[in-house]
Structures are given as C-alpha cells and as structure tokens.
Amino acid sequence: MIQGIRKGYVDGPFGQIHYREAGEGAPLVLLHQSPSSSEMFLEAYPRLAGHGLHAVGLDTPGFGLSDLPGDVPSIGDYADALIAALRGLGLGPVALLGHHTGASIAAEMAVRAPEQVSRLVLNGPPVLTAEEREHFRTALANAPKIGIEADGSHLLDLWNRRVFFTPGWSNLKAMHRGVVQMLLAGETEWYGHHAAFAHDIAEPLARATQPTLILTNTGDDIYAAVQRARELRPDFAYLELEGGTHDIVDEQPDAWCEAVARFVLATP
C-alpha cells in the first residue's frame, strides 16, 4: 500500500475492472485520460483524502489492470461498464471527475445514470467540431501502432511520442508513467482516443443536469476546445489553473486537488 492507497477489482460487463481508492467521506470517482489509468491520480489520492473525500480511481476497460473489451468500444460502452462498476462497489450517488477522454465518459455516465452522479467535474472536456473529430480519427488510424522490436527501439519511439504530444513538459515521473501506461495497454492503446474522437461530448454536456465544474489549465493542449464547453454551458462553474500540460495533476497537485475538493464539498 502506497500512501494509504488501497487497490481492488469489481466485476463489469467486459470482465474485471481495477480500481484504486483512498480516504473516507464523500465519494469522488476519478476517470483518467487516454492512454493512461487510475495511476495518473497517484499524487491526488492522499491529498483528496486529506480534504475528507473518499477518492476512487477506475481503470477504463482495456487500460491499467482492467480487462480488455472484446470489440472496439465506444464512449457509451465505457460509460455503461463504469456505471456497472459503481453499482458493484455500492457507490452512488457520487461526485464524478473525468479528465479528457475521462470527461467524455463522465458526461455520458451523468445522462445515462443520473441517479448515480450527484456532481460533475469535467477536466478538459474535448468539445470538437465534426471536422476536427474526423481529422483526429484519420490521424489516429494512420498513426503507427505499438509493436515490439528486438532492439528495444519501440521504447524510445514511445518516449519520443510522449514528448512530442506534451510540449512544455516538466514532470519526469509523469512522462515516465505515461509511457509505461501506453506499454501496458499495448496494441489496443488507441481504443480510448478512437472512442473519444467518435463521440460528440456536446450532446451529453447539453443534457447534464448535475452541478458541474469545468476545470482546465491554460497550458492544456485542448484548452481552446474547453472554451467551447464553457460557451455551451455558461451556467456551469468554471476554473482554470495557470500553465501546466495534460499532466496537470502531477504538475500542480495541491492547487488541482484544492479546486476539485472545494467544488465537490460545496453545499448544494
């Protein structure tokens, strides 16, 4: 056990779903970006627990230590699987936080099972145009897939890919963790982004009725897309941190956890 973090599994429609948890109190469920796992919140668990929250991070099916779906999943498939996980863990209603792809899943969960979700924190909700989604789907389809090379060159290739997609990075541990999580996901590490680029988050975003915080940071690579979410739902709370990258949880853990806890624990 690291810093009071407990681990376990719960059954879901695609097999077992792995989770990490820490603390006691009001439940806050954390959904990671792609390709990653609940490990992306390692710096957050003890801090959120210190704020009096029961922080639970779920590995999306096919990522981390969760079982892989049999077919290429959609955001809806991920949402249904994680709703089942919440019910299996006896959690609900919960505050639900999603980061990037996790934000798409969280928004979908909120409208599919509103009785399970009391509050939403959408960290970097990717509101993309139809043209942008098609562009990213095409780029993803043409991108080289993870393989295994006898000389180990695939390891350096993955590191260089992570560096390329994280301009301005500063946290070496977060970079290393990101590469390890890509390796762990293996040949299907593209599943998460494929689902995200096929999903129009604007639709569930428009329908969500829960109190919601849109959270971002000015250095996030999809910062501009997040502003569209803000325009779509001006009634939602909004907060941005200065600088950082999509590794903001590692880069500014105290500020990030303070912002999240303040909203989650606010009087309804």
Domain ranges of the chain: 6-264
**Mean pLDDT value of segment 83-111:** 98
Q: List the structure tokens of 156.
A: 């350096």
Rounded Cα distance between 48 and 130, Å, is 36
In this predicted structure, what is the pLDDT of residue 1?
40
Q: How does pLDDT run across 153-179, given as a tens digit for each residue?
A: 999 999 999 999 899 899 999 999 999
User: What pTM was computed for the model?
Assistant: 0.96
In this predicted structure, what is the pLDDT of residue 144?
85
Q: How does pLDDT run across 1-19, given as a tens digit for each residue?
A: 456 999 999 999 999 999 9
Give yes or no for a contact between 163 and 175, defined as CB atoms under 8 angstroms apart.
Answer: yes
Rounded Cα distance between 17 and 66, Å, is 4
Beta strands 6-12 and 15-22, pairing class: antiparallel
Q: How does pLDDT run across 219-228, given as a tens digit for each residue?
A: 999 999 999 9
CATH assignment of 6-264, given 3.55.50.30, 3.40.50.1820, 1.10.1040.10, 3.30.300.30?
A: 3.40.50.1820
Q: Tell me which amino acid residue 52 is.
A: G
In this predicted structure, what is the pLDDT of residue 2?
56
Q: Where is 248: in which H helix or E strand?
A: helix 248-251
Query: Is the predicted pLDDT of residue 136 greater than 50, yes or no?
Result: yes
